[in-house]
Amino acid sequence: MSILTKNEILKEVRKGSIKIVPFNKSALGPGSIDLTLSNKFRVFKKLKKVMDANENLNYQDITKLVTTDSIIVKPGETILGITQEKITLASNLCGWLEGRSRFARLGLLVHISASFMQPGISNRQVLEISNMGAVSLRLHAGTKMCQFIFQKTIGKAKYSGRFVDQKEP
């Protein structure tokens, strides 16, 4: 399994093995592509009850969908965002979603967990955003929030799980 460099990413885009909509060539780095924040967020409801964290808990039941061009994330708060870009991968490609150090240095975790993106995905990437810093931070739609790293797999596979076609956070 190998990480794709900029030129290899471009080759796969030309072949149609990687589709990124919208595609911005200037967002390509030496070994990844920057993805931007959309204007859709999920904010956690202020509930006073204890919820069992299991397979039956639906995050949509404890969050509300908000559409806005900017949102404030207070210290200790977690919200869900989603990328503007939809990524489609061939069955021999997978990827990793990583935050950017410019935000980590502020205490902002852009993607808490579940950074592995399965072969054959075709969706926008949900971002689990947490402010672990000391000050409130305003996030703006269109900001380069994370990077996607592409990797070749050994063999072919296709993801068909619960989040196969996510369009909202």
Per DSSP bridges, beta strands 144-152 and 93-99 are antiparallel
- 1 pLDDT band, cuts 50/70/90, is low
How far, in Å, CA of 25 to CA of 15, rounded? 15
- Residues annotated as catalytic (active site), given as ranges: 128
Tell me the per-residue pLDDT of 86-139, one tens digit each, with 9 for 90 and over: 999 999 999 999 999 999 999 999 988 889 999 999 999 999 999 999 999 999
Tell me the per-residue pLDDT of 28-81, one tens digit each, with 9 for 90 and over: 999 999 999 999 999 998 888 888 888 888 888 889 999 999 999 999 999 999
* Domains along the chain with CATH numbers: 6-47+62-152 (2.70.40.10)
Q: What is the reported pLDDT for 52?
A: 87
Least confident of 56-60, 145-149, 157-161: 157-161
How far, in Å, CA of 9 to CA of 20, rounded? 11
Lookup: tokens for 163: 């989040």
Q: What is the reported pLDDT for 51?
A: 84
